[in-house]
Chains A and B, each alone.
Chain A
Amino acid sequence: ILNVEQSPQSLHVQEGDSTNFTCSFPSSNFYALHWYRWETAKSPEALFVMTLNGDEKKKGRISATLNTKEGYSYLYIKGSQPEDSATYLCAFGSGGGADGLTFGKGTHLIIQP
């Protein structure tokens, strides 16, 4: 059974502050690492798909890094806004992608005005 861990479980951040959280995954049989944002009453929305060690991706104020050798990825949010409040899920793909994605439990982010 693959273990994908996300920390912290929840996070309260003041509006305007920057924040980051972690996804840990098995370092063997790596295929891809996905990040999703899941707002209440909406569908999970894809943020990034990363496949290469050292990958860095950026979308607006959100960025992510990937270290496949040690099995972790960081998600960074710069200058948090209330609309960033959501659960952020990471998902690990292995087995050439044929094994589907293994999701972590998510980091629940609350931005306080």
Chain B
Amino acid sequence: DAGVTQSPTHLIKTRGQHVTLRCSPISGHKSVSWYQQVLGQGPQFIFQYYEKEERGRGNFPDRFSARQFPNYSSELNVNALLLGDSALYLCASSLSRDHEQYFGPGTRLTVT
């Protein structure tokens, strides 16, 4: 069975642009979470979606938004990119928020 997939793998954007990151969960998983990881820190929670509804939101500005589609895949959108948005963005899926999370390989975003 395929694991969690994310696209693109790497991305370079300019300040002020917007970006869309995509995630496909493991088949049967209805919960998708997004994390931002910068060097030297643990992953920081951005959003959690379950059954296409937002169930949790971390301490990120409104420039960050996400959604989950009927097939449980998800998109993370970031508007008006800042240099500080450069990071590894991880997506994780799980059966529910009570279960372990399965992480994708991440999208490395560089903002110049």
A102 lies within 8 A of chain B by Cβ: yes
Q: How many A-B residue pairs have CB under 8 A?
A: 66
B42-65 interface bits toward A, Cβ cutoff 8 Å, 1 = contact, 0 = none: 111111100000011011000000
B101 located at the interface, meaning its Cβ lies under 8 Å from any Cβ of chain A in the complex: yes
Binds A, one of B13-21, B68-76, B79-87, B102-110: B102-110
B4 contacts chain A at the CB level, 8 A cutoff: yes
The answer, among B46, B97, B105, for a CB contact under 8 Å with A43, is B105
Interface contact A105-B55, CB-CB below 8 Å: no
Q: Within the assembled complex, what's the spacing in Å between the Cα atoms of A55 and B112? A: 46
Known contacts being A91-B42, A101-B33, A104-B42, is A46 close to B100, with CB within 8 Å? yes
Stretch at the interface among A61-69, A77-85, A92-100: A92-100
B98 at the binding interface (Cβ < 8 Å): yes
- The 8 Å CB contact of A100, one of B33, B41, B104, is B33
Tally B residues with Cβ within 8 Å of A: 29
Across the interface, do A44 and B56 meet the contact criterion of CB distance under 8 Å? Answer: no
Q: How many residues of A contact B (CB 8 A)?
A: 27
**B64 → A minimal CB distance (Å):** 13
A89 and B42 form a contact (CB under 8 A)? yes
**A34 near B101: Cβ-Cβ < 8 Å:** yes
Interchain nearest-CB distance for A73 vs B (Å)? 15
Judge whether B78 is part of the interface by a CB distance below 8 angstroms. no
Hey, which chain A residues are within 8 Å of B58, CB to CB?
99-100
Assess whether B45 is in contact with A102, with CB atoms less than 8 Å apart.
yes
Taking CB as reference atom, which chain B residue is nearest A44?
B103
User: Judging by beta carbons under 8 Å apart, are B4 and A101 in contact?
Assistant: no
Residues of B whose CB lies within 8 Å of any CB of A are 3-4, 33, 35, 40-48, 55-56, 58-59, 90, 92, 97-106
18 contacts between A and B (CB under 8 A): A4-B42, A34-B101, A43-B90, A43-B104, A44-B90, A48-B100, A49-B99, A89-B42, A89-B43, A97-B98, A98-B55, A98-B97, A99-B56, A99-B58, A100-B45, A101-B43, A103-B44, A106-B42
